[in-house]
Amino acid sequence: VDGRLKLNESHAILIYLSSSFPGVADHWYPTDVSRRAKIHSVLDWHHSNLRFGATRYVVNTTLAPAVGCPLDPEAAHKAEKVLDASLSKIESIWLEGSVKFLLGSN
């Protein structure tokens, strides 16, 4: 919450904070448009892959009964495949070599 503005998505919060407060270190959210585009690419990929697989897996193996829904082993199995593929991509593409983070070492 910043004044009257309320944001609930981590990606929107990152962009808002880094754009609204001067002096934020460039490695958090670069001013270079090409580097920002790469960050946006990872953030968007996260929503439809890693987050999708992880959320659906946890809901369908554990949380569904807490909200009055049955567990769904078939949906959990499909979600696990998405999650496994997402984690493999992170390791084989973005964390390849000696990088420490998804888009580099700093």
Domain of 23 in residue numbering reads as 1-31
Question: Are residue 56 and residue 102 in the same domain, yes or no?
Answer: yes
| pLDDT of 104 above 80 | no
pTM recorded for the entire structure: 0.74
pLDDT in tens, 51-91: 999 999 999 999 999 999 999 999 999 999 999 999 999 98
Question: Are residue 69 and residue 42 in the same domain, yes or no?
Answer: yes
Question: Are residue 52 and residue 23 in the same domain, yes or no?
Answer: no
Half-sphere exposure (Cβ direction) of 102: Cα atoms closer than 13 Å: 15
Domain total of the chain: 2
Angle at 72 between CA 70 and CA 78, to 5 degrees: 160
Confidence tier at 25 by pLDDT (50, 70, 90)? confident
Question: Are residue 6 and residue 51 in the same domain, yes or no?
Answer: no
